[in-house]
């Protein structure tokens, strides 16, 4: 084992009370959930020295301690006892009986974060607590989370911290200025008729509702959920894909791609930059569009002009193109093609097509025709729509901007006018 890794492993064994454990295996992963440009995780699987019964090959026996530590900072990211069996000799973690205040203090000590200013209590259950990232008790997006859970004996069974937690200098402080008078016309514009599958009844249901979006506090921009969710490179393009009617002699041959998070020791120690977090260049956009056109001509030769390159992003070391039909119906499950592109050669490599999922609903009864107008449905649903302040990460400025999160858990049945809870469908 590398000297640095051995030093970290020895420290973990001592700090977490694992003297009666031995290190069975380890891996190195790129940390895609971190806000840092480069971050690697050293993942260790510690086996208890005394195990009852046989150990199945490739499986971790009950009581195994799985520990993930940031390679550079040495901060603890994940700690799990398999099957909740805590066999540590010395209990260095808080216990459930210690109460939430003690748990919060321990989390602050482990993470260096301040409760209230950088994270807040989201859920307190019988077996543990869950926290979410915040800026002075205002939620942030994408979500950062901390979970601490305990087994039936009240001993720690799982701890994890994932996502981003903003620093004070990243926050653009300002009073929340979005009122219903300002927001209503914008929400109405986002309001739409969708068809949702009701699986138990094998039918489509037409529902008026609104998708989750973010409106900047200055009322200048609407940020779609999917763009806000992607911390780094994500560009919405919506460019139509056309080609000459002449058939191509080439056929697309899919190549094997590697979507693993695991990296080599050499890359991790060299702190190799994470290409996924680099902004898309104009060349990326143009060359990827050309790659998509070539792919579509080869794989779907009869569909020129029927598809749009909806968005481009980076994913696991590849460029990922998302294609959607130019003309879409109102169903919430839309036909999508995702194409993986080599970021150096811009050659199309492999793809997924969700057509097989859509075919599962071919026998569903079509939705009934609406009896309400969009305006009438909006009036019924208006009081259920929530507009809450949230800080949304802006990757271009590397700061968080105040927005109003527009969300609604309810919809209006377009055929009956009834307000319905969407989660019950």
128-135/145-150 β-pairing: antiparallel
The predicted pLDDT at position 230 comes to 73
Closest CA to 105 of 90, 93, 89: 93
Looking at beta carbons, which pairs linking 119-123 to residues 24 or more positions away fall under 8 Å?
A: 119/144, 119/146, 119/165
Between CA 63 and CA 71 the distance in angstroms is: 24
Between CA 295 and CA 307 the distance in angstroms is: 12
Query: Could you give the residue ranges of the DSSP H alpha helices within 247-373?
Result: 265-269, 282-299, 355-359
What DSSP string describes 7-28? HHHHHHHHHTT-TTEEEEEEEE
The predicted pLDDT at position 34 comes to 58
Q: What distances in angstroms separate CA 116 from CA 131, 132, 148, 241, 414, one per listed residue? A: 10, 10, 17, 49, 42
The predicted pLDDT at position 246 comes to 65
Q: Give every CB contact of residue 104 below 8 A, 6+ residues apart in sequence.
A: 115, 121
Q: Which residue bears the tokens 């193109």?
A: 321
The predicted pLDDT at position 209 comes to 95
Between CA 17 and CA 217 the distance in angstroms is: 48
Between CA 287 and CA 155 the distance in angstroms is: 54
pLDDT tens across the length of the chain (425 residues): 899 999 999 999 999 999 999 999 999 998 876 555 668 999 999 999 987 666 777 788 999 999 999 998 999 999 999 999 999 987 789 999 999 999 999 999 999 999 999 999 999 999 999 999 999 899 999 999 999 999 999 999 999 999 889 998 999 899 999 988 888 888 898 899 999 999 999 999 999 999 899 999 998 899 988 888 876 678 899 999 999 876 566 789 999 999 988 999 998 888 877 777 778 999 999 999 999 999 999 999 999 999 999 999 998 889 999 999 999 999 999 999 999 999 999 999 999 999 999 999 999 999 999 999 999 999 999 999 999 999 999 888 889 999 999 999 999 999 999 999 998 88
Cis ω for the linkage preceding 53 (within 30 of 0): no
Beta bridge partners of 313: 234, 320
Give the sign of the dihedral formed by CA 102, CA 103, CA 104, CA 106.
positive
Which two tokens mark 63?
A: 């009581």
Q: Give every CB contact of residue 142 below 8 A, 6+ residues apart in sequence.
A: 163, 164, 228, 229, 230, 231, 393
Cα maximum dimension of the chain: 73
Q: pTM to 2 decimals? A: 0.85
The predicted pLDDT at position 232 comes to 65
- The DSSP output letter for 35 is S
Between CA 163 and CA 176 the distance in angstroms is: 24
DSSP E strands in 244-385: the ranges are 307-315, 318-325, 337-341, 348-353
Measure CA 362 to chain center: 29
SS3 for 49? Answer: coil
Closest CA to 58 of 45, 39, 42, 74: 45
Please provide residue 337's backbone torsions phi and psi, each rounded to the nearest 5 degrees. Answer: -125, 135
Using alpha carbons only, how large is the chain's radius of gyration in Å? 25
Closest CA to 76 of 147, 22, 153, 6: 147
Q: What distances in angstroms separate CA 363 from CA 87, 181, 333, 341, one per listed residue? A: 53, 44, 15, 35
H, E, C per residue of 55-98: CCCCCCCCCCEEEEEECCCCCEEEEEEHHHCCCCCCCCCCCHHH
């Amino acid at each position: 084992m590398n000297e640095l890794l051995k030093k970290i492993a020895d420290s973990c064994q001592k700090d977490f009370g694992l003297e009666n454990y031995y290190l069975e295996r380890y891996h190195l992963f790129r940390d895609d959930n971190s806000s840092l440009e480069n971050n690697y995780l050293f993942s260790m699987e510690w086996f208890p020295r005394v195990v009852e019964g046989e150990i199945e090959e490739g499986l971790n026996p009950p009581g195994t301690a799985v520990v993930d530590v940031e390679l550079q900072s040495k901060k603890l990211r994940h700690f799990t006892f398999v099957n909740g069996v805590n066999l540590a000799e010395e209990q260095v973690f808080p216990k459930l009986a210690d109460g939430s205040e003690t748990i919060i203090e321990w989390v602050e000590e482990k993470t260096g974060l301040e409760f209230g200013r950088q994270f807040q209590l989201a859920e307190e259950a019988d077996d543990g607590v869950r926290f979410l990232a915040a800026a002075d008790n205002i939620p942030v997006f994408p979500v950062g989370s901390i979970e601490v859970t305990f087994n039936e004996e009240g001993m720690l069974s799982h701890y994890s911290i994932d996502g981003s937690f903003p620093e004070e200098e990243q926050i653009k402080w300002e009073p929340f200025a979005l009122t219903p008078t300002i927001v209503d016309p914008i929400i109405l514009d986002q309001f739409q008729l969708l068809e949702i599958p009701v699986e138990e009844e094998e039918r489509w249901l037409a529902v008026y509702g609104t998708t989750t979006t973010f409106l900047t506090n200055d009322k200048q921009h609407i940020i779609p959920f999917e763009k806000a969710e992607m911390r780094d490179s994500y560009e919405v393009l919506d460019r139509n894909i056309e080609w000459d009617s002449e058939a191509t002699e080439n056929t697309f041959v899919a190549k094997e791609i590697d979507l693993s998070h695991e990296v080599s020791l050499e890359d991790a120690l060299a702190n190799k930059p994470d290409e996924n977090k680099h902004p898309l260049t104009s060349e990326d956009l143009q060359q990827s569009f050309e790659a998509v056109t070539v792919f579509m001509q080869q794989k779907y030769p009869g569909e020129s002009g029927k598809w749009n390159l909806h968005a481009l992003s980076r994913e696991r070391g590849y460029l990922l193109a998302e294609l959607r039909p130019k003309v879409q119906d109102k169903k919430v499950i839309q036909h999508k093609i995702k194409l993986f592109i080599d970021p150096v050669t811009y050659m199309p490599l492999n793809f997924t097509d969700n057509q097989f999922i859509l075919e599962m609903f071919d026998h569903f009864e079509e939705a009934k025709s609406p009896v309400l107008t969009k305006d009438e449905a909006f009036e019924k649903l208006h009081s259920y729509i929530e507009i809450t302040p949230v800080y949304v990460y802006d990757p271009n400025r590397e700061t968080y901007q105040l927005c109003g999160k527009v969300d609604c858990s309810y919809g209006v049945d377009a055929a009956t006018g009834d307000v319905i809870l969407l989660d019950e469908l």
